[in-house]
Amino acid sequence: MRSTGNRRPQPARRGPRIDGCTAWIECDVESSLPAGDHLAIRGRVRRLSAADGDRRPLVFHQGRLVQLDRSRLGHAPTRRFDWWDA
C-alpha cells in the first residue's frame, strides 16, 4: 500500500488511517505465511467500516472486484479455511 503520509491519530487499539480512504478493516493478525516475494497475512476482522458519502470502495472478493454496499455492512458468519493450515 502506498501512503502520502496523511495519517490521523485514532483512539486506542485502532491503527492509523489514511485521510480520504473509502473503507478500512481493523483486524488482529492470526498468522502469516511466505508467498513468493510477498507475505500472506491471515487476520481476524474486528471492525469494518466505510466512509460517509457516495463513494463505494472496491473489494476483491471471490475472484472479482465488487463495490462495497454500506447497507450490508455488519456481522457475517465465518468459516474456517482448512487449506491455510496445511
pLDDT tens for residues 29-66?
Answer: 888 989 899 888 888 888 877 777 777 777 777 888 88
Count of Cβ atoms closer than 10 Å to residue 78 Cβ: 8
Domain boundaries, the chain: 1-58
pLDDT score recorded for residue 37: 92
Model-level pTM greater than 0.75? no
Cα–Cα distance, 28 to 64 (Å, whole number):
25
The single residue listed with the C-alpha cell 471471490 is: 62
